[in-house]
Structure 1
Amino acid sequence: MKTRAIILAGGEGTRLSVLTFKRTKPAVPFAGKYRIIDFPLSNCVNSNIFDVVIIAQYRPQSLIEHIGAGGPWDLDREFTGGLKIFTPYKARGAGWFIGTADAVQQNFAFIKRSDPDLILILSGDHVYKMDYDALIRYHLEKKAAVTLCTIQVPLEEASRFGIVSVDENQRVTSFVEKPADPTSNLVNMGVYLFTRQVLDDELWKDHLQKDSSHDFGKDILPKMVAERDDIYAYPFSGYWVDVGTVNSYWQAHMDLLCVPPTLDLHTRGWVIHTRSEERPPANIQKGARVEDSLVCDGCIIEDGACVYRSVLSPGVIVRSGAVVHHSILLTDTQVQPGAVIKYAIVDKRSTIGEKAVIGGDPDGEPAIALVGKNSVVPPGTVIQPGAVVGTDVIPPDYTVSVVQSGQYIQTRRLPNEL
């Protein structure tokens, strides 16, 4: 059986705030050296699926640059399989993708051109390790029209997902997308395996429904479950997280720092592949203190600096006397002497000025402070927990020395000045 994987990577990810201001959600950096999309991509090649299509839409530039021709995933194949990236195009009856199903439907003539038997549809913004080959065997054994993957989550989080009910044979009996008051914690993972002809038929029926939002979770799957008895659930019990909010993104990083880690990235039998930058080894100087942290190549941690339960991406510099606790610092961030960063996320190429304070110890659930890409926090400035500094912010943009929780500082420069 020939399987083609479709990775939906067009998400805007508005709940990730400034982290997705300049990039699509699947291109957001993760765990120091990766991007989120590396996980479904690596799952594909580790499952011996080498025919992959990525459908992009919102701000795809950094995603396309990262993926390239697919070399790091052994997908740079010219004749058989390989990697293709589809984006919206202007044509009669086509344009900006309306929903996840519409994104696939608009490209389906190209998707089925390689004559696959099965279509595996994946979300490009989930962090997990999964053997899709086992899913394919399960799908064929059940003689399913579609198999959707399910996982149990805490009930208080279930309203973020589609709620699935199954019988004793794992046949899906109901599917309700993001109910306000969920009655179950068994949720849809956004991993679907379709028989090709079934998907072709369902996409076309949905395309003709003018009142549809053209989404798999909202429209296609609930209708299929109501009309058919060959829809099955594949129960998944491993680590899986939709890093769709600032707090879930931060918590997923903290999960990496547990002993043992909740998601183990060191398993040689299931490598997460990525496009890595060439950087020198990390330099941790005498007198520096680093505990329970991930520190990538190119980082410099000076004498007297303290890094605790944090993730440092390539090229981060933590100067003498600076403190970084429970935080995520993305590529080439610079933390000047005496600065304190706690429970915060700082995006690429930002500078935290001398003795500035970003975030703070939580009282209950952490309120994560955010500093956007290419921004500068002036010396001595305080960014309180839950406050946000936008992208490309420079010292003249600040009108206060204390940015309070819930406050947003943005650049006052025009786009052509950036």
Structure 2
Amino acid sequence: MFHGGRGYDHCATGAPAVPPGSPASCQRRHRPSCRYEWYLSDGGDPAELLSAWLENNGLPVRKLVLTASSFHPFGAGTVCGSSLYVSAAAGSVMIGGAPGRPSPVPGIPDVVAVLYRHTDDDLDRGDDLPALPGGDDVSPPAPWSIGAWQDSWTRDEHADAVRAVHEAIARGDVYQVNVVGHVSAPYTGDPGPALQRVTKLPGARYGGILTGRDWAIATASPETLVEVRDGRVITRPIKGTRPATAEGRRELLASAKERAEHVMIVDLERNDLARLNGVGPVDVDELFAVRRWSGLWQAESQVSAPIEGDLGLADLLRAVCPGGSVTGAPKLAALDVIAALEPVGRGVAMGALGWVGTNHVDLGLTIRTVAVTGGRVHLWAGGGITWDSDPDAEVDEAAAKAGPIRAALAGPTRHGNE
């Protein structure tokens, strides 16, 4: 155990069948060994505490160029890698930013790492999950049902927050701020199948589930916060949304507002990577490519840099957390605006969830992500606000992003959750 964090030497429980970002080469051949948890109230530097725990448990994270190019071991009992979750609030603490309002899910840690080791067995985990929190403790379980959704702010309050960002831009405080809303609802029954439906939404590059003693996080995120592979650091910011129709695609490609907003975040990500010690020139490998997530088109770019010296996980997390596409520019100033405007904390959303392995790092940004705890399901959605943003349109965009998640939680549809 390390000061400022909570390390556990017992076997981790409740891990997902396929941890988000884990390599196909070891899926079904690894099992959880131990876990680490850190809360904001624990204090200390979460990036350093996490790195120390991983390193001392056999995962080399002090020099990621070695991690990115080393031979991947397969012997029974060898360390395979670690699931990793970092909340947006923990990311803000890492860079000295405002952590925001209190989380509506305070029982969920702000950093979780679950270490995996290889086994000789081909584990047939299937899609089954252990019992998840909040369901009725009866036999047989109550049917799955979600109650009425409760918003953390009204539509008018959300629109007023957009106008407040306009004022901050007019003062010269910021260029762009991502504003996020939150909803929650009570539920009964086993949430496992509903969470699995979320992870299987079309375009869910990081679809997966992480669980704890009395909570679970499920993500359908399409966005790469950071990847380390083949000696390069990569980030793929997403910014710009339209309905997944032919007309929506044309509108997205033709929108000067969406392109300007997108390029602003690409520049922010370029600067984030350029400040890292041990990396070479930063390149924009792809700009404003249109990708599909469920029923939406979204614009995505790829920014990368070669690793040319010593680069550790702690410095990498400090550079990219919290993600630029869900904060704004300049990042620290945007965090101050977010903390003043958003009515509740971002909880498990707008953070990181993925995999730190012996041969790669792959962390998704926890957009399109839900949490269940205390008998309630929680969901966050928002969007980037620039000077040209229309308040009503921004509220509608957030609702469009949350729509497929709500539908997946409610139950299977006849059209594949589209």
Q: TM-score, normalization: structure 2? A: 0.23
Larger relative contact order (C-alpha < 8 A, sep ≥ 6)?
2
Q: TM-score, normalization: structure 1? A: 0.23
